[in-house]
A and B are shown apart, each in its own frame.
Chain A
Amino acid sequence: MPGFPFPGRPGGEPDEPLLDMIIARRVLPPDAPQPMHDLVSMLAALAGPAESGELAGEAAVRAAFSRAASPAGISAAARRPGRRRRTRRFRGPARSRARLATALVVAVAGLGSVFAAYIDVLPSPIQQLAHVTVAAPAPPSSSPRHTGAARTPPDRHAANQPSSQPGSRPQHSSPAPLPGTLTPSPSFKPESPGRRSPGPSCTPVGGHSPSPQPKPTGRPSPPSWSPPAHCTGLPAGPSSVPTLNPYPHLSGIPRD
């Protein structure tokens, strides 16, 4: 039909263009069937302005809006995602990125700790723990292979180094070492609280290869951990006190 803006689909019903015009609320041509014109009138009334009673709920809706629009309501509502689909879609990558970043940090920290244990830069108690758990090298104070000159950086202990001869007595006096005991290297410097430093290097005396002993730092050992029996030569126990103490001046326990 001429003048129709909706030509209709090929092979479709002949009244389709009229129906599309009705749906689009357009004015029908004058020669359209009367029922179509009546239909247009009815649907126009249906889409018309509000009639009496239809806005009766406005007061209640306004009250609900006022409650929600209060400062607490707006901030709470603003935090809630309104378009859940969109925010949920956008929330996924951020969450996965955060999880990935956390996993990477944990992995790096773990690897760094293991690496530090293997290059023997941890405090002796921690190094001992690493030695037990991940087969890291034992702390220098308990290892028979380590020597003071090889393990200790010279700059740090140079001021306290009376001589470089292994087995010589440290500057801070101590009784003569008993056979089979460990003596600290001349380069040993007691560890102050809160300062990390390599453990002391130990020199076997009398051909005896001592088993590793815990390093006396002046700080109490964790009560849950006690050195294994092969480290102290004594039955392991939280209350056992080693009698062979190479550093009595630190622990205050007199040597036998």
Chain B
Amino acid sequence: MIGAAFSVTLASAQGGDENAFACLFRDIQPALLRYLHVITPEAEDVAGETWLQVVKGLPGFRGGEEAFRAWLFTIARHRAVDAGRSRSRRTDVPLAVTEAVEDPAGPDAAELALEAITTRSVVALIKTLPREHAEIIMLRVVAGLEAADVARIVGKTPGAVRVTAHRALRRLAELVERAGVTH
């Protein structure tokens, strides 16, 4: 997150400063891409469409950094849902197949994640969770959104988001422990 300099950066970007906009892009793009990798197989395309819409709506945006991130991730989720619908119309494959399926060899993913803690391995581990759990963990922990914003994005109450996040973390902890890596 940019922090105290966000308002100045945003104002410059809204005024047409390309470098200021690039600063926003570099700050949010990693989290955005990782989040999209969890919820859609077309993460790069959806991320591009998300930024295009952000560019269009940027002059009219008003708010702080948290509101900006919530706005951007809301756009990203909508674009991902649209991509999923058009993908299902094209291939006639049931949506359930494209959803993240709990990998029966979960501990392998956990082992990989522990052996080489990289973003890809951790994303792969989180994708073994149920879709709802994985999405909330990404939005809360990786995107850094507050529970209220996450609730608004996924259509749940803040209390339900908190409970779901706890369940997801417990499940992750179980996977890590089952991997047998003891310290």
Contact = CB atoms under 8 A, between A and B. Distances in A.
A51 B119 contact: yes
A45 B21 contact: no
Q: How large is the interface on A (under 10, 10 to 19, 20 to 34, 35 or more residues)?
A: 35 or more
Given A23-B165, A55-B29, A82 B57 contact: yes
Contacts of B48: 57, 60-61
DSSP majority for the B interface?
helix
A54 B29 contact: yes
A216 B120 CA distance: 94
A149 B165 CA distance: 94
A81 B176 contact: no
A74 interface: yes
Interface string A188-225: 00000000000000000000000000000000000000
Interface in B1-52: 13, 16, 18, 21-22, 25-26, 29-31, 33-34, 44, 47-48, 51-52
A81 B61 CA distance: 9
The A contact surface, by secondary structure, is helix
A64 B58 CA distance: 12
A39 B138 CA distance: 13
B64 to A, nearest CB: 14
Contacts of A50: 26, 29-30
A35 B29 contact: no
B181 to A, nearest CB: 7
Contact of A16 (B13, B26, B114, B166): B166
A110 to B, nearest CB: 40
A87 B62 CA distance: 12
Contacts of A25: 141
A46 interface: yes
Nearest to A37: B183
B86 interface: no
B26 to A, nearest CB: 6
Contact of A57 (B29, B61, B166, B183): B29
18 contacts: A23-B140, A38-B176, A38-B183, A39-B172, A42-B114, A43-B142, A48-B119, A49-B30, A58-B26, A61-B21, A61-B55, A64-B51, A68-B56, A68-B58, A77-B59, A77-B60, A80-B57, A82-B60
Interface of A: 13, 15-16, 19, 22-23, 25, 33-39, 41-43, 45-51, 54-55, 57-58, 60-62, 64-66, 68-69, 74, 77-78, 80-83, 86-87
Given A54-B30, A68-B55, 15 more contacts: A16-B166, A19-B169, A41-B117, A45-B119, A46-B119, A46-B142, A58-B29, A61-B48, A61-B51, A61-B52, A62-B22, A64-B52, A69-B18, A81-B60, A82-B62
